[in-house]
Chain A
């Protein structure tokens, strides 16, 4: 267990040294929050009720889908995985450590948003804070699992960026955080439901636990974990 916890703390340190992670997990989401929070609350004052959830969904989706895959490609797309295998370290360790560290960073970023939004934009705090953070925890895990599939399946950094954007853009645009999903054409509304962002946003704004919002996220998570296992097994001789 000591080795595992040392690995987690080391990964945390490495992520802090990496400017990419700071940009995708903190700088861009917080900048987006500063600009869009100002616009949303000025144009549509009622968005104050959901500002924390919407900005968090954007930040988590971005941090997970854009931030995590390049780290995984660095490990699994090149020679780094061989050094794990050669030195008796399980191949899955890189994936687990990168996910845990990203999870902590995204949760921290979400807490910063939750604290800053009421102070800066007089955003409403979620009524049921416990439920909100449980939903947030689930949403981060599912987003990271989807990001892991991209990071393991695509072996090239340029292609990874392309795939990440291909999933990130519809996730954010069709999730309901920019405009209500009911206003979207039916096809887009349906398409939005295949991404975790729409279900995560729904769960975080519902304030109560609804199985119908949780089950799609659980299904996505299980599917992503199974795919990750298959991809890792393929790499192991």
Chain B
């Protein structure tokens, strides 16, 4: 699979604050790729540098294809109607609005509302439609489901999968591990201005390893043990309790979630 985007040694500072300190990664054509990081990690800055909306201090950015951009925060004139906005941007880009796409995104259902009357979810759908008016090869979605309810999130996830199915490359910035796990082929975690992890979600899961915690509750209270190999540690532990004559009320084992792993990497722990 060839590259859609290639980033080499990307550096960006705001005054004396170094935000991106030599970022390197690539996005392959046709995949859903997520940039992850805690708030302020530099996800939006990275995206905006790639999109050409922000200057950068050093490094190289190569983008192979036409870009469509849905910004994290964006706005339109309060009184514009969704189809008017779509038509304006389509005309300006020399394209025709894709009626199927507009129908899929539910734009016709909100056609008579003014922008100020739209809900957060409806605005997101409209901004996604606007990003698609250029018929892009690569679609950038900056926290596309932030502030949406469950229904809105599921709807947008379905649309993102549909776009991947027709061959679009999708780059999204998120701090929602569950969303990323559900949608993405590959991820990159930004920490301290660098890529702290790059790979598939499965590979991130493998970094958790076999380490786990075992919590045993008895009549006398709760005890927690850490183990490198649950298969070898659990039975001797239970035998020890039996020998001591303690009645076990509950046993819990926890390998740690992807989210915990993400947070550890993102915070550089």
- A residues adjacent to B (C-beta < 8 A): 2-3, 6-7, 10, 13-14, 17-18, 74-75, 78-80, 82-83, 85-89, 93, 237
| Count, chain B residues at interface, CB 8 A | 29
User: Does B91 count as interface, using CB distance less than 8 angstroms?
Assistant: yes
- Nearest B-chain residue to A87, judged by Cβ: B89
A83 touching B75, Cβ below 8 Å: yes
Other 12 A-B pairs with CB < 8 A, given A6-B87, A10-B84: A6-B88, A7-B91, A13-B84, A79-B75, A80-B76, A82-B74, A83-B75, A86-B69, A86-B71, A87-B92, A88-B92, A89-B89
- A residues near B51, Cβ cutoff 8 Å: 86
| Measured CA separation A160–B180 after assembly (Å) | 42
| Measured CA separation A3–B87 after assembly (Å) | 9
Interface string of B46-88 (1 = CB under 8 A from A): 0000011111000000000000010101111111100010011
A-B contact pairs, 16 of them (CB 8 A): A2-B91, A3-B92, A7-B88, A10-B88, A14-B80, A78-B75, A80-B76, A83-B74, A83-B127, A85-B52, A86-B71, A86-B131, A87-B89, A87-B92, A88-B89, A93-B92
Please classify the interface of chain A as helix (H, G, I), strand (E, B), loop, or mixed, using the class held by over half of its residues. helix
| Measured CA separation A17–B79 after assembly (Å) | 7
- B residues near A93, Cβ cutoff 8 Å: 92
User: Does B134 count as interface, using CB distance less than 8 angstroms?
Assistant: yes
B130 touching A82, Cβ below 8 Å: no
| Measured CA separation A237–B54 after assembly (Å) | 5
- Nearest B-chain residue to A89, judged by Cβ: B92
- B residues near A89, Cβ cutoff 8 Å: 88-89, 92
Choice from A3, A82, A85 contacting B91 with Cβ under 8 Å: A3
User: Does B93 count as interface, using CB distance less than 8 angstroms?
Assistant: yes
What distance in Å separates the Cβ of A23 from its nearest Cβ neighbour in chain B? 15
Please classify the interface of chain B as helix (H, G, I), strand (E, B), loop, or mixed, using the class held by over half of its residues. loop
What distance in Å separates the Cβ of B16 from its nearest Cβ neighbour in chain A? 20
6 closest A-B pairs by CB? A3-B91, A86-B69, A17-B79, A3-B92, A79-B75, A83-B74
Interface string of B236-269 (1 = CB under 8 A from A): 0000000000000000000000000000000000
- Nearest A-chain residue to B127, judged by Cβ: A83
**B 138-157 contacts with A by CB, 8 A:** none
B77 touching A14, Cβ below 8 Å: yes
User: Does B133 count as interface, using CB distance less than 8 angstroms?
Assistant: yes
User: Does B114 count as interface, using CB distance less than 8 angstroms?
Assistant: yes
What distance in Å separates the Cβ of A34 from its nearest Cβ neighbour in chain B? 28
B77 touching A74, Cβ below 8 Å: yes
Interface string of B28-39 (1 = CB under 8 A from A): 000000000000
- Nearest B-chain residue to A83, judged by Cβ: B74
A88 touching B93, Cβ below 8 Å: yes
| Measured CA separation A2–B92 after assembly (Å) | 8
What distance in Å separates the Cβ of B246 from its nearest Cβ neighbour in chain A? 61
- A residues near B75, Cβ cutoff 8 Å: 78-80, 83
A10 touching B89, Cβ below 8 Å: no
Choice from A3, A6, A82 contacting B71 with Cβ under 8 Å: A82
- Decide: A14 near B79, CB < 8 A? Known: A80-B74, A82-B71: yes
What distance in Å separates the Cβ of B253 from its nearest Cβ neighbour in chain A? 47
Interface string of B174-207 (1 = CB under 8 A from A): 0000000000000000000000000000000000
A3 touching B88, Cβ below 8 Å: yes
- B residues near A18, Cβ cutoff 8 Å: 78-79
B79 touching A79, Cβ below 8 Å: no
| Measured CA separation A181–B240 after assembly (Å) | 104
A237 touching B53, Cβ below 8 Å: yes
Choice from A14, A74, A86 contacting B74 with Cβ under 8 Å: A86
What distance in Å separates the Cβ of B47 from its nearest Cβ neighbour in chain A? 10
B114 touching A17, Cβ below 8 Å: yes
- A residues near B130, Cβ cutoff 8 Å: 83, 87
| Measured CA separation A237–B57 after assembly (Å) | 12
- Decide: A88 near B134, CB < 8 A? Known: A10-B80, A237-B54: yes
